[in-house]
Each structure stands twice: as C-alpha cells, then as structure tokens.
Amino acid sequence: MEEIALYPGVTVWPALSSPLSADTFFIRQGETVWVFDVGNDPRRARALNEIPGEKRVVLSHFHADHMGALPLVEASEVYAGAFTCKKLKRATPVTAPLSFGDIQLFPLPSSHAKGCVALQYKDLLLLGDGAYAGQKGGRAAYNTGQLGALLQVLRRVSATTCCLSHRTPLMVGKDRVLSFLQGIYDRRDKNSSYLFV
C-alpha cells in the first residue's frame, strides 16, 4: 500500500468505506515507526507488518474502524486510553501526557467515545474521531462537560493544524475546529447535559 505524504514527516493510508476503516498515520523517528490507528482491514495489517522498523501503535479510541485489525499487527508497543486498554490484553494506558521526543500522546476529552487519545507531532494534532459527536438516544450529541473540556485542551496545545479521521481534506486549521465546536458549546443550556447536533 502506498503511503501518501500528508505533512513533513507524516504519511497516511486514507480511510476506507468498505470495510469501514479509519485513516492510518505514520510518523518515523529513526528506526521507530509510530502508527496512529491501524484500521479494520486485514490487508492493511499485513501491509503494516511488512514496513521495516519497530512499530509503536497508538489507538485513538476503541471503535473497530480504528483498531479492528490490531490482533493481526506486529507491534512492539501499543498505547491507548485506559478504557481501550481494558479491552486489550497488552497495551500501555495513556492517562496523562507522555512525551517521546517530538511526539506527545495525551488523553482527549471526547463526546464520541470513552478513552480517546490524541497525538501531537510538531504543529500537527491527530484527533481520530475525538472531536466528533457521540450518540444519545439515537441522535448525534455532544456531552456539554466533555465538549467544554475538549475546547480547553485544544486551546492549550501548541499545534495549529488538526487531522480529523474519515474527513477530506484530512488537515484543517485548529481555528476552524475551535470555532465549529465553540458554536455548538455556545448553545448549551443549564437544564441539559447534552447538545444535539
């Protein structure tokens, strides 16, 4: 599979719709290849195993389109949110920021799924689905508290460009993500914990 250049030092295998599979991002650090989300396609797992170098996998969250192929992937280390780690036999939980040179992993407050993790590399922030809504009673919704916390985290990080999975184009300015999310947050009502979108 051909890696597509996305950003200096970052390549990607784009998301698929069949089987539904999130984008897989690659960042190389010497002999180490950081892989952000492995997707849900066995062919993708086989291709991943053929990439030379020590693979360190980061899972943005537990949904199958982001990590379904993991059992087939040969990785030296897997990092994931605490909730995702409960579902996996062997993974390192990201419960506080972790730094590896110019890569930082940290928990991301999210309405989309429990235990989301973001990866910052230089000016780029990989969010997976973490900035998307979740489901409440069959409707798309943000949890007000999680959304407020997410806005704080996004404002605090130094990166100015975000990658939101499954999206074209993949890269979007953090300002745009912030103004979109702030617009939803501004509609909050003290009588409800959810913001339907």
Which residues are near Zn ion by CB under 5 A? Answer: 63, 129
CA-to-CA separations, 31 to 52, 55, 75, 96, 105, in angstroms, rounded: 8, 9, 13, 25, 19
Query: Looking at beta carbons only, is 65 or 75 nearer to Zn ion?
Result: 65
Query: Looking at beta carbons only, is 41 or 129 nearer to Zn ion?
Result: 129
Query: Looking at beta carbons only, is 63 or 174 nearer to Zn ion?
Result: 63
Query: Looking at beta carbons only, is 167 or 188 nearer to Zn ion?
Result: 167
Helix (H) or strand (E) holding 77: strand 77-80
Calculate Rg over the CA atoms of the chain: 16
Is the distance from CB of 109 to CB of 146 less than 8 angstroms? yes
Count of CB atoms situated within 10 Å of the CB of 197: 13
Phi and psi torsions of 147, nearest 5°: -65, -40
Is the distance from CB of 103 to CB of 29 less than 8 angstroms? yes
Residues 178 and 185: their CA atoms lie apart, in Å, by 10
Residues 24 and 61: their CA atoms lie apart, in Å, by 13
Query: Looking at beta carbons only, is 135 or 182 nearer to Zn ion?
Result: 135
Query: Looking at beta carbons only, is 65 or 151 nearer to Zn ion?
Result: 65
DSSP β-bridge partners for residue 61 = none
Shortest distance in whole angstroms from residue 88 CB to Zn ion: 16
